Amino acid sequence: MKNLIRLKFQIKLNHSSALIYRLVALSIIPIYLFSFLMKASANEIPLAARIAKVIGLELLTIRRGRQAEPATKKSVLKRHVDTLIIPGKFNSEADLRFYGKYDKNLGLVARAIRRNERPTLYYFPCTLQGNYIIEWANENFTRACELGIRVQRTSNTKINSSILDNLYPVQGLKNLFLGQASRNRFEYHCLVQANDGQGWLDVVSTGNPCEKPLQQCVTETSNNNCKAIMLDRWQTYTKELIGSIECADQKNFIVKSDGEIFSQELKKIWQQAQSQNAKYCKVYTYSVHDVYLVPQKKERLLTRIIETERGSEIEVIAGSAVIKNAKVPNGIIVTAGQRYIYADIENNRLETFNAGEVLQSAEIQDFLESTKILPIPVGNPADAQYVVANLPDGQHLFCSQPEPKDWRSGAGVCFWFRKEGNLITGSFGYPNSDVFVPCVTGIINDNFMTGEALDISWLGNGWIEIPQETGGWDEDGHLKLGQGKIVLTDQNQWGRVDWIHFAFASLDLKGFYRYREENAKEFQAPKSCSVEDNLYDFFD
């Protein structure tokens, strides 16, 4: 058996980028793949933050590790090293929306607003610096950053704003961050949790902080819905950091330390928590100037954060929030009409303001108007006008929801396929994710196909039991699979990888939307569903 097998499959990950190979490497499976494959839960970090709107000058920059690039509407942040920077001297504001598995909108919008000449920053996934309006929607499902948004003051960040403001943003950032990288080193922690409340924590300065804890969780629990629930960072130059671990049964653990040795101290109290069999833990890290903003209930929460000489002023306009800080790790409840002012541990207080007046202000009303999610009826259902069997031969793309007018390559569940007479062959799954069946092929009759399929099972995306009886693959049962059999198996450092052939597959495309031809042409369908036609680059 060869050591490396790659799946020959191309999928469009976003509207603005070229298609990339979706690699399933039997010796290297990227850990970011796992986060797409974990089932959603009430406490799970978002998988992506997208710039939904830019107001004023489009002079935004994204720093990805040590690389910097211009940011525009539709730009996406999705890695722990991704940072959005908005220079302070330019009249620029931006809206961020947050997404989860299957490109699901996670009901959180944050608008960076201009109040002074300091830069405004956003660190993926849940850290803000500067002035913002934030709204969590009133939803009963997963919302982004529900365990808290970390609010930091830009006045305490070692960034020379004149470099950002007086130079072209990308070049200025390159000069700035390359020069300061060694002095202002970041460290990252990731907390992974299983369904039963067990947790795994890792702290790293390089690489993916979620890789090791996810691997441990999957190995030790047989993939008991392992998920990364918290991901944060700090800078080692910080003189005083506080780590707070909050667990069920009121088991709490706190440490204070200099930034240079903070990671060691945080790991110590984590081991202490594990020795006491603490479950359902959360890990918060603060400087003395930071706070965490946490929704108190599953209700709409509308807040505004303004930096002033008094500190970070957090106004709750609607709903209620818990605000945690180094002085009060368990937090205080702040309700509509209350403003919490936090400068540091010794200087913080609660006061009232006219929430109704602020709600009716032009700034808040403009924000609320732009955050409305309005369905756009784009595309045409695959009805009599678009019977799949009557389509011309060639590449096609059909999805269960209308074609979106944003960065996404599709909505709902999609089928990218090639038609040759009455034979169709393609890939079926959720766009903008790694959740799909690589090959589905068969004979089309009107909008219904019957044939066979090929899928892959590996760590984090495994079939617990390969189905012999026919059952639905996707949430709505459009694709049904049965008579599965493993036809190829290999082992790698992550575990076992199986290629599964399904002798029966049926796909119902009735009611699907036909997308524009240019989108369909950017996808290359597999030749067939044989293993041989889906493998390439065999290495000894």
**176-200 pLDDT per residue, tens:** 444 444 445 889 999 999 988 999 9
How would you classify residue 390: left for phi > 0, otherwise alpha for psi between -120 and 50, otherwise beta? Answer: alpha
- Using the predicted structure, report yes or no on whether residue 332 has a pLDDT greater than 80: yes
- Using the predicted structure, report yes or no on whether residue 175 has a pLDDT greater than 60: no
Quote the pLDDT of residue 116. Answer: 80
Please answer whether residues 321 and 355 qualify as being in contact, where contact means their C-beta atoms are separated by less than 8 angstroms. Answer: no
| pLDDT tens figures, 498-516 | 788 999 999 998 888 888 7
Quote the pLDDT of residue 23. Answer: 31
Instruction: Assign 263 a pLDDT band (cuts: 50, 70, 90).
Output: very high
Mean pLDDT of the 65-82 span? 86
CA nearest neighbour of 231 among 49, 60, 407, 96: 49
Instruction: Assign 156 a pLDDT band (cuts: 50, 70, 90).
Output: low
Quote the pLDDT of residue 151. Answer: 94
Instruction: Assign 38 a pLDDT band (cuts: 50, 70, 90).
Output: very low
**Of 159 and 201, the one with more pLDDT:** 201
CA nearest neighbour of 322 among 442, 205, 151: 151
CA nearest neighbour of 226 among 83, 39, 487, 380: 39
Quote the pLDDT of residue 183. Answer: 47
Contacts of 260 (CB under 8 A, 6+ apart): 236
- Using the predicted structure, report yes or no on whether residue 451 has a pLDDT greater than 60: yes
- Using the predicted structure, report yes or no on whether residue 54 has a pLDDT greater than 50: yes
Quote the pLDDT of residue 101. Answer: 73
**Of 411 and 231, the one with more pLDDT:** 231
Quote the pLDDT of residue 318. Answer: 92
**Of 222 and 276, the one with more pLDDT:** 276
Quote the pLDDT of residue 189. Answer: 94
Quote the pLDDT of residue 141. Answer: 60
Beta strands in 236-346 (DSSP E): 241-247, 251-257, 282-287, 291-295, 301-308, 311-318, 320-325, 332-335, 338-342
CA nearest neighbour of 218 among 467, 39, 383: 39
Instruction: Assign 313 a pLDDT band (cuts: 50, 70, 90).
Output: very high
The CA distance from 147 to 372, in Å, is: 24
| pLDDT tens figures, 117-139 | 888 999 999 999 999 999 998 76
Quote the pLDDT of residue 168. Answer: 41
DSSP character for 417?
A: E
Tokens standing for 373? 């999610």
**Of 353 and 458, the one with more pLDDT:** 353
Quote the pLDDT of residue 89. Answer: 77
Q: Where are the domains of the chain?
A: 41-155+289-374, 184-285, 388-533
Percent of the chain past pLDDT 70, that is, above it, reads: 76
| pLDDT tens figures, 336-395 | 999 999 988 788 889 999 998 999 999 999 998 887 643 333 344 544 346 888 888 888
CATH class of 41-155+289-374: mainly beta
How high is the mean pLDDT of the chain?
78
**Of 186 and 539, the one with more pLDDT:** 186
The CA distance from 348 to 172, in Å, is: 35
Mean pLDDT of the 27-39 span? 29
- Using the predicted structure, report yes or no on whether residue 524 has a pLDDT greater than 60: yes
Quote the pLDDT of residue 5. Answer: 32
Contacts of 475 (CB under 8 A, 6+ apart): 413
Mean pLDDT of the 447-458 span? 87
- Using the predicted structure, report yes or no on whether residue 464 has a pLDDT greater than 70: no
Please answer whether residues 482 and 364 qualify as being in contact, where contact means their C-beta atoms are separated by less than 8 angstroms. Answer: no
- Using the predicted structure, report yes or no on whether residue 161 has a pLDDT greater than 60: no
